[in-house]
Structure formats: C-alpha cells, structure tokens
Amino acid sequence: MEAEQPIKPEERKDQGKPLVLVVDDDPSHLKLLELLADHINMTAQLTSSCADALELLRMFSFDVVLMDCRMPNVDGCECTKQIRALNEKTRSIPIIAVTANLQTSNRIACRDAGMNDFLGKPFTLQELHDKLCYWLDKKVED
C-alpha cells in the first residue's frame, strides 16, 4: 500500500487538529488507526513503508509518528534511525512504537533507535488517546 497523496497544510479542512503519521505495513492496522485518530480529533496520514514515511516527513510537518515495529524490508527501529537522521525537525518529533512485543529487549532496541514511547497491541481507544495527549502536550481535544 503506497502512501495516500497528502493534503498540503494550507488546504486541510481540519487545520488545528494534530497531524499524526502512521507507518504500518498492514492495511487493516492503518485503517483502524486512521479511524481511531479521527475519533479523538486528530488527522492521520497513512503509509506502509519507511521510504514513503521519509518522503512525507521531508514535505510536511507532523506532530507525532506512530511506528509499527515489525515491517518487511526496513523495520520500525531502522526507520526511526533514518527519521532521526533526516533533519533538525525530525530529530525531536515524538515517535511511538506500536507493537505487540513489549519485552524489555524490544523496548531497549526501540529506545536505542530513537523512539520515545510504546503502545502495546492490542490497545484501547483510551490508551491511544492518553498516549497522544501526553506527547502532544494536551493538543488533542475531547
């Protein structure tokens, strides 16, 4: 699944809503996260590959990244390293690992790669909301 064509910030109808980049190779996970983000008053930009994520991050300003850890070709940890190396802005964007593997070794690998936090699969809407509110400094409106 290729990245959907993003809408330029000045053309967005939902200006003011936090913009989240969702990187996941599973189309059903992408759709679910898009629906959940909309439900908590956020806008999600979806992509299924690291290459597309890097391109989107070069072109647009995102407030947070939700990163699947297990993707083919370039996994979430490697993608995070590439995001951090991209430019000044991407060095500080919050990146949240979305993973079923919350074992200590995986957490260490994610942190070493530059991820800021973890969201364990499966998660509830409230858990997603709380995690995003924490990293977006309460920009998410109920």
Question: Is residue 86 assigned to a domain?
Answer: yes
Question: Is residue 22 assigned to a domain?
Answer: yes
pLDDT tens sequence across 72-125: 788 999 999 999 999 988 999 999 999 887 778 888 998 999 999 999 888 999
φ/ψ of 21, rounded to 5, equals -95, 120
Q: What is the pTM of this model?
A: 0.85
pLDDT tens sequence across 17-39: 899 999 999 999 999 999 999 99
CATH (domain of 43) = 3.40.50.2300
pLDDT of residue 31: 93
What span, in angstroms and rounded, lies between the C-alpha atoms of 36 and 126?
10
Terminal alpha carbon distance of the chain = 31
* Domain span holding position 43: 18-135
